[in-house]
């Protein structure tokens, strides 16, 4: 069985956060959702748990970082094409996020852009031509 990842994010406004993630393509899993937390499914393997601040505090004694002014983590998702990268970022901007907080990255065989959700969490979306990237980074023969 493949390992799954559950990304837990504190959010200031749970309904707004759910609406945002739905607009960028995630689906709500009602089985693991209530008025304090919502499970958003990005894929069979990747789930994002959106937690109210009160709920998030139940899991840590550390202060919750204000992701609009500080950065604790940057998350990166793969995409199938350059167009998919642009599409996800456009959906995020239309849903109330901000686009390209870390700039556009175009390395020919790799293309990436990013967005911030309404709470300031940074997501990057990256496409890579694996064959071209592997060839470009292959060790030189002696």
Is there a contact between 76 and 124 (Cβ–Cβ < 8 Å)? yes
Q: State how far the Cα of 18 lies from the Cα of 22, in Å rounded to an integer.
A: 6
pTM for this predicted structure: 0.85
Report pLDDT digits (tens) over 68-122. 999 888 999 999 999 999 999 999 999 999 999 989 999 888 999 999 999 999 9
3-state secondary structure of 51: strand
C-alpha distances in Å from residue 110, one per residue of 43, 51, 98, 105? 22, 33, 22, 8
3-state secondary structure of 110: strand
Structural domains present in the chain: 1-61 (3.10.180.10), 69-137 (3.10.180.10)
């Amino acid at each position: 069985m493949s390992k799954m990842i559950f990304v837990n994010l504190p959010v200031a406004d749970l309904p707004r956060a759910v609406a945002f993630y739905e607009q960028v393509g995630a689906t709500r899993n009602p089985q693991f959702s209530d008025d304090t937390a919502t499970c958003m499914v990005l894929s069979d393997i990747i789930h994002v748990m959106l937690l109210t601040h009160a709920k998030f505090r139940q899991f840590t004694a550390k202060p919750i970082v204000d992701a609009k002014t500080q950065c604790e983590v940057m998350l990166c998702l793969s995409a199938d094409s350059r167009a998919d990268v642009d599409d996800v970022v456009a959906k995020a901007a239309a849903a109330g996020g901000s686009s390209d907080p870390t700039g556009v990255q175009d390395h020919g065989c790799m293309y990436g852009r990013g967005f911030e959700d309404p709470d300031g969490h940074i997501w990057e979306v990256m496409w890579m031509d694996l064959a071209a990237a592997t060839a470009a980074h292959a060790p030189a023969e002696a």
